[in-house]
Structure 1
């Protein structure tokens, strides 16, 4: 018994020529939003339990990122440099971020003041994002 007929593989593209693209007068399908985040750039804030964190968001897709959240991982550092805890907080994504563009946003990231006694400080070392 024979299986279903198989289709032939696509013909190879001759060297020096381009593979076939979309038909003339049509638009290729868009690609979903794909964000990459630059490293967090930190600056001191007025309170020791807060800091200003600047992030660059780059959308390498063709469709916009229309909503989402940014999650910050903030470390509480003691006077001797010991990392005592990591607290995560979330804030809204600076949406919309159009496809093929970049956007920069500065956030004030804070933890509860009682978590940072005198002599201690915070360091936001990581940021991640989710989007749609």
Structure 2
């Protein structure tokens, strides 16, 4: 005699009904038959869980973090970080040296031209009455040296009574060079023709003109 086992609950009722159906089928087949009794197959309907359930979200893009300003209480989404510019290396910043500033050569004031002056001739008699030594002092107050030039003397022939009978010119070379802001003296023996100065007469070199460059 097969004993019937009861199982409390819904699953037990289903299992009992299945077992009874199996026994009936076996009895109909003749003597010596048997039926295996076991738990019923799993129901196609999923049972509702009775414990605590933890929901795990799928991998989704993380929304931008939001910031809340304490002043107005509004929430604003921060802008996503921009990718670095093409060609730039991460973690490095490239700096470019500014182009060198062109330098200007110091300018010098242009030199002023030579400015030559001289004093009155200093005369000294010689052993001949138709000659005398004449000395001139020159001063160059300009910014350029005097490189060359000439001196023209005017020699007066004076008679016994002091009459100026004639003036004879003669030319000599300037004592160049005379440096800028420099001084230089020159001495020449100035003569006229001897027949122009008879006995009792003499000469006086009074006039001086100078050309220079």
TM-score, normalising length: structure 2? 0.50
Alpha-carbon separation, structure 2, partners of 1:102 and 1:46: 30
- Is 1:102 the counterpart of 2:179 in the alignment? no
Specify the alignment match of 2:124 in structure 1. 43
For 1:13-92, list aligned pairs within 5 A: 25-92=106-173
Tell me what 1:126 maps to: 207
Structure 1 contact 31–61 (Cα < 8 Å) conserved: yes
- Residue 75 (structure 1) shift: 0.2
Find the residue that maps to 2:165 and give its secondary structure. Answer: strand
**Runs of 5+ unmatched residues, structure 1:** 1-22
CA contact (8 A) 1:59 1:65 kept: yes
Q: Which structure dedicates a bigger proportion of its chain to helix? A: 2
| Structure richer in strand, relative to its length | 1
Larger Rg: 2
Aligned-pair RMSD on alpha carbons?
1.4
Q: Distance in 2 between matches of 1:46 and 1:89?
A: 20
Aligned partners of 1:100 and 1:50: how far apart in 2? 33
Deviation track 1:34-73 (CA, whole Å, cap 9, x = no partner) reads 1111000111112100111110011111111111100001
Structure of higher RCO (CA pairs closer than 8 Å, 6+ residues apart): 1
CA distance in 2, matches of 1:78, 1:92: 29
TM-fit CA distance, 1:25: 3.6
1:37–1:128 Cα contact (<8 Å) kept: no
Could you list the runs of 5+ residues in structure 2 that have no partner in the other structure?
A: 1-103
Residue correspondences, number: 110
